[in-house]
């Protein structure tokens, strides 16, 4: 079957349109090889002989839409990615938040959680902060558009590069919050229970738990075109408290587009006063 599984221009354009429709990700013709590589195994499993047949299956809706989303989304994350972000949270954001709002539970949102390393990193950071400040309480909500990758995140079992990176950068936290299991390491239940995982499309209605104090939306906007960046950011704002902070990825800047946010420092944005 592989001999006929070559994407022509029309089918490629249709797939790019479906990716944009269901995920907001802006692809172009240079993604032809990537799409072929990711979709072929699924087409074999479905017994389909052409991309046109598969496009019709996705357009028909149902469970294939989620399968398609799982295949075309990129889920690249790591424990404590970008040290400057975690330094800011530990030394500035958390102490300042506690001084201002110490009698309530911190609500944090990892808005493109992928396989969960970011959410667990935040949980470790908050738990360490809580040991120094027992009055501090927190809850983390972790969402992603891909149900498949969220199942990995909820399981909290990691191996390979994820564990190696954590061992190199934060060996004490690895020893404290993960335990060997099988060929990898599993996050302890006491940490997993601090995180609620759920599916959420950033282009849909705001996350149901509103009034977040902190939102991590890192390394996802780079895949969106400007229209979908604005749409996602307005949805995120609707779920944030007026004093909240938004954290973006290393290669992301939103100062050039009209959003409810203004630049505070590298990676960190606050809500504009007129939108608070």
Q: Residue 205: what pLDDT?
A: 78
Task: State the average pLDDT for the chain.
Answer: 92
Residue 187 scores a pLDDT above 60: yes
- Position 1 pLDDT exceeds 50: no
| Residue position matching structure tokens 């949805």 | 235
Residue with the bigger pLDDT between 196 and 31: it is 196
Would you state the pLDDT for residue 75? 75
Report the pLDDT averaged over residues 31-41. 91
Q: Does position 74 have pLDDT exceeding 90, yes or no?
A: no
| Best CATH choice for the domain 9-72 from the list 1.10.155.10, 3.90.870.10, 2.60.40.420, 1.10.10.1100 | 1.10.155.10
Q: Does domain 83-271 have CATH number 3.30.420.10?
A: no
**pLDDT, mean of residues 22-28:** 89
pLDDT of 13 > 60? The answer is yes
pTM of the predicted model over 0.85 = yes
d(CA 54, CA 50): 7
Angle between helices 117-132 and 94-101 (to 10 degrees): 60
Residue intervals of the chain classified under CATH 1.10.155.10 are 9-72
Of residues 32 and 207, more confidence is placed in 32
pLDDT over 90 percentage in the chain: 79
Tokens, residue 142: 């972790």
pLDDT digits (tens, 9 = 90+) for 189-238: 999 999 999 999 998 877 666 699 999 999 999 999 999 999 999 999 99
> pLDDT band at 145, cuts 50/70/90?
very high
| Res. 3 pLDDT band, cuts 50 70 90 | very low
> Is the predicted pLDDT of residue 240 greater than 80, yes or no?
yes
Q: What is the pLDDT of residues 86-115, one digit of tens each?
A: 999 999 999 999 999 988 999 999 999 999
- pLDDT at residue number 210: 64
The per-residue pLDDT for 77 is: 86
| pLDDT of res. 179 | 98
pLDDT given for residue 207 in this prediction: 65
* CA 270 from centre of chain: 19
Distance between CA atoms of residues 192 and 25, nearest Å: 30
Which residues make up the CATH 3.40.50.150 domain(s) of the chain? 83-271
């Amino acid at each position: 079957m592989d001999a006929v599984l070559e994407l022509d221009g029309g089918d490629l354009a249709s797939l790019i349109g479906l990716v944009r429709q269901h995920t907001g990700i802006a692809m172009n013709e240079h993604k032809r090889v990537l799409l072929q590589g990711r979709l072929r195994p699924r087409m074999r499993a479905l017994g389909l002989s052409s991309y046109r047949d598969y496009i019709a299956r996705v357009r028909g809706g149902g469970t294939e839409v989620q399968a398609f989303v799982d295949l075309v989304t990129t889920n690249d994350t790591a424990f404590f990615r970008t040290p400057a972000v975690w330094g800011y949270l530990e030394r500035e954001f958390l102490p300042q938040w506690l001084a201002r709002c110490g009698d309530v539970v911190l609500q944090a949102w990892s808005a493109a959680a992928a396989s969960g390393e970011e959410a667990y990193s935040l949980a470790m950071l908050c738990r360490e902060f809580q040991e120094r400040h027992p009055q501090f309480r927190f809850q983390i909500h972790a969402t992603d558009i891909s149900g498949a990758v969220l199942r990995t995140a909820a399981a909290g079992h990691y191996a390979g590069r994820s564990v190696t990176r954590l061992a190199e950068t934060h060996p004490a936290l690895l020893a404290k919050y993960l335990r060997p299991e099988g060929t990898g390491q599993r996050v302890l239940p006491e940490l997993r229970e601090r995180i609620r995982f759920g599916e959420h499309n950033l282009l849909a209605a705001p996350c149901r738990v509103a009034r977040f104090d902190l939102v991590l939306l890192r390394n996802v906007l780079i895949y969106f075109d400007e229209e979908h960046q604005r749409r996602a950011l307005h949805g995120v704002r609707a779920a944030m408290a007026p004093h909240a902070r938004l954290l973006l990825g290393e290669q992301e800047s939103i100062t050039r587009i009209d959003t409810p946010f203004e630049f505070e420092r590298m990676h960190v944005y606050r809500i504009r006063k007129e939108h608070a």
